[in-house]
Amino acid sequence: MNSPTGRPVVRSSEGLTHRNDMDLSCVHAEPPDGGWGWMIALAAFLQSALVFGVIRSFGVFFMEFMVYFGEPSTATSWIASVTVAVLMFASPLASALSTQYGERPMGVIGGFLSGLGLFLASFATSLAQLYLFIGLLTGIGGALIFSPSLALVARYFKRRRALANALVFSGAGISSLAFSPLFQFLVDSYGWRGALLIVSGMAFNLVACGALLRPLPSAGNAALRTAPEQESRWGRLASLFGLSLLYHRPFMIFSGAGVLITAGYFMPFVHLLPHARETGFDEYQAAFLVSAVGIADIAGRIVAGWLANCGPLRLVHHLTLWALLTGVTLLMVPLGHNYALMVTLSICYGFLASAIIPLKFSTLMEIVSTDQIMGAIGLIHLMESFGALSGPPLSGWIRDATGSYTASFQAAGSILIAGSLVLLALPNYLPCLPAASLKPPEDCKEEEALASSHPPSPH
């Protein structure tokens, strides 16, 4: 319905109120907490398995690349770092494209690019080509896949959001359980080139996952795509990329903590297997450590999601605790001089670290409103890309400088602990306040206005 001035109007409990097109971006359909949302969660689960599961199991190829190209640990570590950094750095662009053109097309294109990057990498003749094919192409594909799927899960679920995110990210744990020994078998049977060729075929299944991303009916996306021509170009870009969040203090504090947590989080996935090999374990014993992390990862995500839904603490408290304990565990990894102790530490690390990513994205909904989630995911991924880019190479540099991975794991644990402590600076951190306590006042008022204009859900 339009007003005499041509502007859209929204009916509320107090009558008709004028709203410009960009204000309509606050209006979203009620999260169904189920229905097709479970298909979205399934697609995101498979995407998590085929994107992050491959990245986390890349330690198998790490040793092969070092031997084949004759490069040091620092240079080889950049492959995984560039992949994760590009995935995160390109997230704001992926969020903007998803807002403009839809989540499903971006998911399909991202799946194709991910498979193509791994396919071309199987023919690489230098590390620079691996940086380009795996790091750039596969990284951009991962960004186009993951930003829209995470935003859709956040929009489809409200009460069960933490549980849904835990199930989504358990895909990485389940795939890590299978992929590490599978990749080792493929490398032994076909060499690293043949193994990468097979892995690329697995990654092309991401195209089908992208086709499942049916967006929830949202007035926000429709309004954004039909913004008035007279709107300034800067205003349009700011809306697409969620740049207003750069002035949101709680979001910036949360992002700063995320940079540190991400830097420490990704270090062990690249260097746990090489550390085990240097300690004296054979390649299959080392590969099983990654599988042990994957087994514990599955259990940890489910337990963390269940605890987050039934405890008195807020999600940000859960995130702080799990990140802190993960850092302490990493400090103890160098003590694993026998295989039984190393397996135990790997299981502890997998169980504790598994909760960080799903809790981080669930906690984000305590800080920003639903209509801001797409831009928030893009921006926080962009900022965390600096942590992902610096973490593994820093760990590799420490190893090259000291001759062992002992100091590398100590650095990873210290960085994670520092990131968890930064979360204490969030406003209203200590009280167990409702989720809206961290959101900007205008967002809370907006949500109250929207709630008053709709009857409460019977569910």
Query: Count of CB atoms within 10 A of residue 207's CB?
Result: 18
Q: Alpha carbon of 457 to those of 30, 31, 157, 407: distances in Å?
A: 8, 10, 14, 54
pLDDT at 431: 63
Among 161-170, 217-226, 346-355, 382-391, whose mean pLDDT is lowest?
A: 217-226
Q: What would the two tokens of residue 236 be?
A: 């349009």
Give the CA-trace dihedral at 358, 364, 369, 370, to 10 degrees. Answer: -20
Q: What is the mean pLDDT of residues 72-97?
A: 82
* DSSP structure class, residue 430: S
CB 25, CB 371: distance < 8 Å: yes
Most confident of 47-61, 83-97, 195-209, 282-296: 195-209
Distance between CA atoms of residues 49 and 43, nearest Å: 10
CB 149, CB 49: distance < 8 Å: no
Q: What is the mean pLDDT of residues 435-442?
A: 47
What percent helix, strand, coil does the chain show, rounded to 5?
Answer: 80, 5, 20
pLDDT at 29: 56
Among 263-267, 374-378, 387-391, 437-441, whose mean pLDDT is lowest?
A: 437-441
Distance between CA atoms of residues 258 and 265, nearest Å: 10
Q: What would the two tokens of residue 458 be?
A: 């019977």
Task: Give Cα 267 distance to the centre of its chain.
Answer: 15
Distance between CA atoms of residues 138 and 171, nearest Å: 18
Question: For the segment 99-140, what is each residue's pLDDT rounded down to a tens digit?
Answer: 788 889 999 999 999 999 999 999 999 889 999 999 899 999
pLDDT at 34: 67
Distance between CA atoms of residues 42 and 48, nearest Å: 10
| Beta strand 15-18 pairing with 9-12 | antiparallel
Given a cut of 80, whether residue 349 has pLDDT beyond it is yes
Distance between CA atoms of residues 96 and 116, nearest Å: 23
Distance between CA atoms of residues 169 and 407, nearest Å: 29
CB-based burial, 233-254: b 16+ in 10 Å, e otherwise: eeebebbbbbeebeebebbbbb
Over its C-alpha atoms, the chain yields an Rg (Å, rounded) of: 22
Distance between CA atoms of residues 345 and 292, nearest Å: 10
Q: What would the two tokens of residue 285 be?
A: 């014993």
Scanning the structure block, which residue is given the tokens 């076909």? 190
pLDDT at 277: 84
Given a cut of 80, whether residue 413 has pLDDT beyond it is yes
Element (H, E) at 119: helix 103-121
pLDDT at 198: 95
> Collapsing DSSP states into helix, strand and coil, what is residue 2?
strand
CB 145, CB 114: distance < 8 Å: yes
> Collapsing DSSP states into helix, strand and coil, what is residue 295?
helix
Q: What is the mean pLDDT of residues 248-258?
A: 88
Nearest partner of 375 among 245, 280, 264, 268, judged by Cα: 245
Q: What is the mean pLDDT of residues 420-434?
A: 77
Given a cut of 80, whether residue 453 has pLDDT beyond it is no
> Which residue would you say has higher pLDDT here, 219 or 206?
206
Q: What percent of the chain has pLDDT over 70?
A: 80
Please state the three-class secondary structure of 227-289 as a single string.
CCCCCCHHHHHHHHHCHHHHHCHHHHHHHHHHHHHHHHHHHHHHHHHHHHHHHCCCHHHHHHH
Q: What is the mean pLDDT of residues 219-243?
A: 56
pLDDT at 278: 84
φ, ψ of residue 19 to 5 degrees: the values are: -140, 135
Distance between CA atoms of residues 273 and 291, nearest Å: 11
Average pLDDT over the chain, rounded to an integer? 78
pLDDT at 315: 84
Q: What is the mean pLDDT of residues 308-329?
A: 86
> Which residue would you say has higher pLDDT here, 189 or 93?
189
Among 66-70, 224-228, 257-261, whose mean pLDDT is lowest?
A: 224-228
Distance between CA atoms of residues 419 and 410, nearest Å: 14
pLDDT at 18: 35
Q: What is the mean pLDDT of residues 276-289?
A: 83
Given a cut of 50, whether residue 11 has pLDDT beyond it is no
Task: Give the pLDDT band of residue 325 (cuts 50, 70, 90).
Answer: very high
Given a cut of 90, whether residue 193 has pLDDT beyond it is yes
CB 173, CB 298: distance < 8 Å: yes
Fold of 20-447: Growth Hormone; Chain: A; (1.20.1250)
| Partners of residue 12 on adjacent β-strands | 15
Distance between CA atoms of residues 34 and 153, nearest Å: 10
> Which residue would you say has higher pLDDT here, 2 or 104?
104
